[in-house]
Amino acid sequence: MVAETSDGGGAKTGAEAEAAQVRLLGGGHAELTFAMVAVAALRTPANTDHEVVVEVGGRNLPVLPLVEAALGRRPANTHSAEEALHALGFTMYVRRRYDKVSGRPVVLDRAARKSSS
């Protein structure tokens, strides 16, 4: 199951920012634009195995690889990439796992998340 975390719809409506700042791994910031994301989306394979995906052109693309491809540098973390994409008007989805018996959301630690994909 996937939960929506923003309501941009993947297309600009005029209310979104023209550019957004992304914190980079190792320090510093970079500017991300809608056009940079669109071009990077053409060469980023669709993959729903990631915890957080973004809808671009009707495809679900992994947030970190997409933003890294757009910038040519790795974002500091998923949250920084999500914030920038949201500011540009894109829709993000977060994978949520549910316990089959109780029906409650499952909270996994980092090691369990990495081994469960």
Residues 33-78 have pLDDT tens digits of: 999 999 999 999 987 678 889 999 999 999 999 999 999 999 999 9
Q: What is the dihedral of CA 13, 18, 24, 30, to 10 degrees?
A: 160
pTM for this prediction: 0.72
Report residue 55: phi and psi, to 5°: -90, 120
Q: Sign of the CA dihedral 63, 24, 18, 72?
A: negative
Instruction: Please tell me the total count of domains within the chain.
Output: 1
Q: Provide the residue range defining the domain that includes 53.
A: 2-116
